[in-house]
Amino acid sequence: MMSNPLLDFSALPRFGDIRPEHVAPAIRSLLDEFGALIKRLTASTLPPTWESFIVPMNEMSERLGCAWGIVGHLHGVLDIPPWRDAYNAMLPEVAGFYAELGQNLALFNQYKALAASPGYAALAPVRRRIIDREIRDFRLSGAELPEEAKPRFKAIQEELSMLAAKFSENVLDSTNAHAEWLTDESQLAGIPSDVCHSARAAAEKDGKLGWKFTLHHPSWLPVMQYAENRALRERMYRANATRASEFTWNDNGQEKWDNGPLIGRILALRAEEARVLGYRDYAEISLVPKMADSPAQVLGFLRELAAKAKPYAERDLAELKTFAQESLGLDTLEPWDIAWASEKLREARYAYSDNEVKQYFPEHRVLDGLFSVIRQLYGVEITASEAPRWHEDVRFFRIEKNGELIGQFYLDLYARDTKRGGAWMDSARSRSKHINGITTPVAYLVCNFPGPTQGKPATFTHDDVLTLFHETGHGLHHLLTRADELAVSGINGVEWDAVELPSQFMENFCWEWDVLSMMTAHVDTGKSLPRPLYDKMIAARNFQSGMQMVRQIEFSLFDMLLHHGITHADTDVPIKQVLALLDDVRREVAVLFPPDWHRFPHSFSHIFAGGYAAGYYSYKWAEVLSADAFAAFEETAGKMTPRNSLLDRATGERFWQEILAVGSSRPALDSFIAFRGRAPTVDALLRHNGMA
């Protein structure tokens, strides 16, 4: 069995050796080993201690988590049939094991016995916090349920895991299924040349002439922004808006990739889970481990932001409609015109386009600039290294300080048909302290950017750069931890509505001249970003910020009201009810109203296939924290004469020490106050969005 590469924890994952057929034997072996450990620990008549009980539980949990994490990672970045089958075959067993683990009353009693023992008071505060959190999580997992209720609770967890996986697969499959084939070059008018080259290459790969445009973000968004062909924009908009719905069919023309029934089932199961555990609704369960106290507090927070932002959004839309009518000849601004008309307005008002800026962000310069920011803030060095990879485009890096290894990360930047959409950071290994020393953390950083074309390096839009900095912020939170206890190191256990603080914090540096001037070089001429063009970008920074903010509030309110409003569901929730709620939310806060056939919830993977159920508000919640934290750097720079760079090492060290290093060893609010010297305020967020 040790020949199975998934069971080799001695070094980095052996991606060159791991095969789908390794999954079932490896995971079953670890499940059996974990089960045997639990039986031994719960059968012991000796009082549990940290060393005899917590340490072996943590170590076994880390081994299973690492192995299953590799499988889940490959399911996300290499979603070919063998890996999909291997993942889905074991998913019920893994979900069932964790459901049983959370309901194991004997194990729960061991934690409670440790908390009640004389030795508990002598433990370090962080260890007491870990034990208290475990007890909380056992209660949320149904450990105190009557025995007759536990099988049903376990079945709910298993079914929810399978539904989430199927939801994500439906989104990917329906995204891959649609393509727009163009053979007339005149139909390409307005679309950037590098996007057209990629479309030509995609067509050639399929053995066809012409150009192939897909619903993957690097292909879809430029069409919506730049294509003069209105009919093409309409077709692409409709295809994207109806992904994974009753309007999408697979290749045999019979089965649908329809997430509507899955949504109804997921909501019913979550409502049942809440009722079984004694909560009013799933939103209440979701908020137990978060910073926010109640759904009412979250709803109040979102509606307060909406009240401040909606007048700006209405102004943004009125300006766009007037421009579209007077300058573009569009009496009616259709949904598929919004991105195109907005780009035209940006060009007219600020005399530049996203595509013009994109030419100054070749990949190598962006990465050099990103690593330079990290070096200046924290005094660490990032160097390329070698490791087994799952794809030839993946790269690997080391982070060191004074020659000491701190962490390592994989970087997978380019979009692929076999890769789920979006961008994310995930843990490959967490920092922990063992008898033999420190295990350093390892992270995955994954994006979906366009790759190199025609022998030229990949070039990124400024939004792409923001995304890269965002995910790197998550990565630094994981990699720069100084917490030695596995359960609180890095991102482990951080309140969900605070976990976006380090990521959104990093985005702010992408607007600083000191940063952009060192990370830009025109892809053809090599010249740095001109200061006049930068000044135009800054002037346009809050372009349509009102519309953007109410859009995020719309998603957040929909998510919270959806999970707060369904208190019981004897049958699956009708998708009409879900869509009606979304319409109600839009009438309250939105300024843009899509067509009746739009099916946004069907691809809202964050809340139906990710960890954001009744938690999508955390993006705006954490944005308050991140903007206020960045204001500390602004204040430090503003005190210097002449004004100093925001890349201040002393402030960076404090941010590292008080925010990044501590993980979840203390509440996130305590960490913020330790860094800022006070509780957070919304002022910096409003100022950064031009709403002060």
- CA dihedral over 121, 123, 127, 130, signed as positive or negative: negative
Backbone dihedral angles phi then psi of residue 42, each to the nearest 5 degrees? -80, -20
Contacts of 299 (CB under 8 A, 6+ apart): 557, 560, 561, 564
Quote the Cα angle for 124-130-133, to 5°. 140
Q: How far apart are CA 598 and CA 608, in angstroms?
A: 17
Angle between helices 295-327 and 618-638 (to 10 degrees): 80
Indicate the pairing of strand 442-449 with strand 404-414: parallel
Q: How far apart are CA 189 and CA 223, in angstroms?
A: 10
Coil, strand, or helix at residue 434? strand
Residues 626 and 634: beta-carbon distance below 8 Å: no
**H-run or E-run covering 406:** strand 404-414
Contacts of 191 (CB under 8 A, 6+ apart): 199, 222, 223, 226, 227
Q: What are 105's two structure tokens? A: 């009353």
180 noted as active-site residue:
no
Q: Give the neighbor-by-neighbor strand order of the sheet with 381-385.
A: 381-385, 395-401, 404-414, 442-449, 424-429
**C-alpha distance from residue 317 to each of 1, 506, 620 (Å):** 62, 29, 22
Residue type, 564: H
Indicate the pairing of strand 211-214 with strand 381-385: unpaired
Q: Which of 296, 297, 300, 318 is closest to 308 using CA atoms?
A: 300
Residue type, 378: Y
Q: What are 115's two structure tokens? A: 């908390």
Torsion of CA 294, 297, 299, 303, to 10 degrees: -170
Q: How far apart are CA 408 and CA 387, in angstroms?
A: 10
Between the two ends of the chain, the Cα-to-Cα distance in Å is: 62
Q: What is the DSSP code (8-state) at residue 528?
A: P
**Active-site residue identified among 100, 158, 471, 500:** 471
3-state SS string for 318-358: HHHHHHHHHHCCCCCCCHHHHHHHHHHHHHHHHCCCHHHHH
Burial of 23 (0-12, 13-18, 19+ CB in 10 A): buried
Tell me if the bond preceding 222 is cis, omega within 30° of 0. Answer: no
Backbone dihedral angles phi then psi of residue 407, each to the nearest 5 degrees? -170, 175
Angle between helices 150-177 and 81-102 (to 10 degrees): 160
Q: Which residues have a catalytic role annotated?
A: 471
